[in-house]
Structure 1
Amino acid sequence: MIVALLGAESTGKTDLALGLADRARALGLRAHAVQEYLREFCDRQGRTPRPEEQGHIAEEQTRRILAAATAHELVFADTTAVMTAVYSDLLFDDPTLYDSAFEAHRRCSLTLVTGLDLPWTPDGIQRDGPHVRTPVDERLRQRLQAAGVAYSVIYGRDAQRLEAAWRVVETALRAKGRLTAPASDAAPRLRPWCRECLVPECEHLLLRRLTDQP
């Protein structure tokens, strides 16, 4: 089972991947977090990828995810090729990576999109800046919807964010019969804002409350 963590930069994908893998291992599952290859590429090269290198970034991310899936029953992917395709589209006006990216993404059992309620922080040369987060989030959602990929949006700070993500993962695991242990009541519970939490207008209201926007 592969869980994809997608979202704009500085929205907590790496921390969630590591935290979710730790939570799953604590329950006896063979879980692994696949790190973002782009970060490794930028650190090694001392620069961000050129347009013609985007395909390599996407392919290597997919390769590492599938390799991890052969050795673990639960894989948390800190981004997939879909994010590379989104950035290639926005930064280089090149939409050609979407087809292969979504073909690979169909291997994922669950897709989580990290919300924009966390503050942007600098973290390596692969970061483009806070001004790109909203366009990336919008383009990502458009492409997921066009491809028919269902997703859950994750909000919250620190432990709440991890708990929100884990509740989605836990529900999927139980539905697939991968998890039979009783649910823990020790973790903090998030207040449900309303029954229609997937309606865009409602999500915007939630985001304003979480970020204290007027």
Structure 2
Amino acid sequence: MPVFSVLRVALTGPESTGKTTLSRLLAEHYSTTWAPEYARYYLEQHGPGYVLADLERIAKGQLRAEQNALQAAQLQGRPLFFCDTDLLVIKIWAEHAFGICPPWILRRIEEQRYDLVLLLNVDLPWEPDPLREHPNHRQYFYDLYQRELREQMSNYAEISGTPEERLEQACFHVDTLLGKTGAWRLPATFRA
């Protein structure tokens, strides 16, 4: 089976903005794969206390999850896959918690570009969770993500509103990406 280029769509943004739910819904909508957020799995296994070395392990786990989702999308012949979070989350997390981000993560962010990044706004209510830390700093972090994406000159779109509106907006941007790249030339049975 020939290997073909698969588009990468990342969902990023502060805590409790619906990244996981929207990633799952988009993967279902487009009948493709998604890379779950590895940080949640890691912290559930090791507890909410962490050091910088833990963030590096989380970053490596996230990259493995993305690689697995990519390979699965290729095997299924899908034109794209979704990533529930990205290394930008690790960068902002590390710089906020420890004042630095490991250089290899910064290099990887530069090397690994996404075809589209969906930046989720903080207009959903905060959902308490023992693994979440900053209920009163979401706008601050949102502004950091927005600035980083602009500085990277990323192809990104801001997503806001109700969960239904978020899905509709995200699908619009993904459909636009697929149309621009010509990747949306699948049989109608694969279309959502």
TM-score by length of structure 1 reads: 0.76
Alignment of 1:133-172 (within 5 A): 133-172=138-177
Q: Which structure ranks higher in relative contact order (CA pairs < 8 Å, sequence separation ≥ 6)?
A: 2
Q: Deviations over 1:112-143 (max 9, x none)?
A: 100111111113x3201311212211221222
Q: Deviations over 1:16-51 (max 9, x none)?
A: 1000011101xxxxx112110000011111224212
Q: Which runs of 4+ in 1 moved over 6 A?
A: none
Aligned to 2:94: 88
Q: What runs of 5+ residues in structure 2 fail to find an aligned partner? A: 1-6, 187-192
Alignment of 1:103-118 (within 5 A): 103-106=110-113, 108-118=114-124
The CA distance in 2 between the partners of 1:60 and 1:9, in whole Å, is 19
How far residue 93 of structure 1 moved from its aligned partner, in angstroms, is 0.9
Asked if the contact 1:81–1:105 (Cα under 8 Å) also holds between the matched residues in 2, the reply is no
The CA distance in 1 between the partners of 2:99 and 2:172, in whole Å, is 37
Asked if the contact 1:51–1:88 (Cα under 8 Å) also holds between the matched residues in 2, the reply is yes
> Which secondary structure state, in structure 2, belongs to the residue aligned with residue 121 of structure 1?
coil
Superposition CA RMSD, Å: 2.0
How far residue 52 of structure 1 moved from its aligned partner, in angstroms, is 2.2
AA matched with 2:182 = G
Q: Deviations over 1:35-83 (max 9, x none)?
A: 1000001111122421222112112201210221122032110001110
Q: What runs of 5+ residues in structure 1 fail to find an aligned partner? A: 26-30, 182-214
Asked if the contact 1:118–1:157 (Cα under 8 Å) also holds between the matched residues in 2, the reply is yes
The CA distance in 1 between the partners of 2:34 and 2:151, in whole Å, is 27
TM-score by length of structure 2 reads: 0.84
Asked if the contact 1:58–1:101 (Cα under 8 Å) also holds between the matched residues in 2, the reply is no
Judged with a 3 Å threshold, the aligned counterparts in structure 2 of structure 1 residues 140 and 57 are, in CA distance, closer, same or farther, namely same
Asked if the contact 2:118–2:156 (Cα under 8 Å) also holds between the matched residues in 1, the reply is yes
Aligned to 2:128: 122
